[in-house]
Chain A
Amino acid sequence: MHTLVDKHADAVVHANLAAGLSTPKVSAKDVNVYYGEKRALMDVSVDIPDRGVMSFIGPSGCGKSTFLRCINRMNDTIPICRVTGKITIDNQDIYDPKLDVVQLRARVGMVFQKPNPFPKSIYENVAYGPRIHGLSHSKADLDEIVQSSLEKAGLWKEVKDRLNESGTGMSGGQQQRLCIARAIAVNPEVILMDEPCSALDPIATARIEELIDELRKNFCIIIVTHSMQQAARVSQRTAFFHLGTLVEEGPTTEIFTNPKDKRTQDYITGRFG
């Protein structure tokens, strides 16, 4: 864990330097989300840099997961849900009617709160994305994608001899890493993680956090978490949500050591939430 914290301190410095310079990967402007009549998210605007980890924190029901699900348009699957405002990835509006949601989701992977491997073999779980998006042309291609994805997810050594066993037979932590491998198999640009460790024990959580730290070299990662320690450990930037609004956003160290808003301070010092 110590090395993780050290690495993390370096990373923050880098991120702070980089944040102002590079153009944002994901950019949201005045995003509102309605569930029927209820307004769940109010005028959220935020810029998320590439090759780094951004964490969303806040009390339950504050809208952080709702916002996360806007970025790959998962909210489309909820009939009563309506999104207004503008979200862009690389300056491309993802709510553009001409854009196909299938292609969007190939670029924006997602990992869920509870590990949800498909009831298929470990191999098939990872091969699923490349297959439906036609990324491989031969069995050898596919084998390579599966292997490299599992390697990147730190799972290859554990499962290489049982690729044909069911993905649902593994431990919770392994299942979650399998879901991460599944997500990165289609080589996305952004990876969304919705409380990826909340169903895991501390050891499995530490492994996932190491993995996230590893993955940020190549991906833009956005993570929703309930654990402020986790946000502090893995992310370079943090956004605090409260009652459907984005209260404060900035470098993680800033948010945790020197929050500007009273509500942020109350939350991180444990006064509510």
Chain B
Amino acid sequence: MGIEWTTFVLEIVNFLVLVWLLKRFLYRPVKSMIERRRQEVEAQLAEAEQARREAEAVKQRYQNRLAAWETEKKQAWERLRQELEAERQRWLQSLSQELEEERRKAEAVWQQERREWQRHAEEQVLNLGAAFVARLLERLADEHLHHRLVDLLVTDLEKLPGSEQERIRTAITGAGRIRGVSAYPLTDEERRKLDQVLSWVLQTPVGIDFTVDPDLLAGIRIDLGSYVIRANLHDELQFFAHGQAL
């Protein structure tokens, strides 16, 4: 039961050898592997952290882009709305102009039609009036009225302005003998007054060849070439019927 010194000493050696062997073949390899694993885990954690940061950055960029897209979308919508509004306004303005143009055209057509209708109505009124006056004058026309018209012509020629006299002289230049037409035969006195007044107007002695045409109803018509002197009911009625008398 005492101490066996050989065992004691050899056990010391044995244990020291055991410590060295375990340190060399167990402790160090296991520690090395644990350290490698720790580094591996730290590297993976660092990679994961890096990946997380990158993901955060990507997420942030994505969110920024989404926000930018949202802003751009709103701006695009606003531009589109403004363009549509402007286009609508242009269309409305164009349509309004077209409507105004159409209205003006319709107004012009209506005015034209109204004028045409008025002219037509006036023409009908004139025709009716002319027919009425013609029938009335046809009943009133007689030789007395004929002579009154001849006298009236003589009086008017005597009062003819100088410019009108000049026109008559110009119109008769180069013409031959003056022809005249009367509804009734003229008296000598009437022939003489007419020759005298026309000679005064033309500033040259003239002779007039008169013929009788009952269609004139009353009065005379003297043809001076391009200038015709009318003083009879037929021509007056014609003027009245075609509105020239107005």
Q: Do A and B truly interact?
A: no
Q: Which residues of A contact B (CB under 8 A)?
A: none
Q: Which residues of B contact A (CB under 8 A)?
A: none
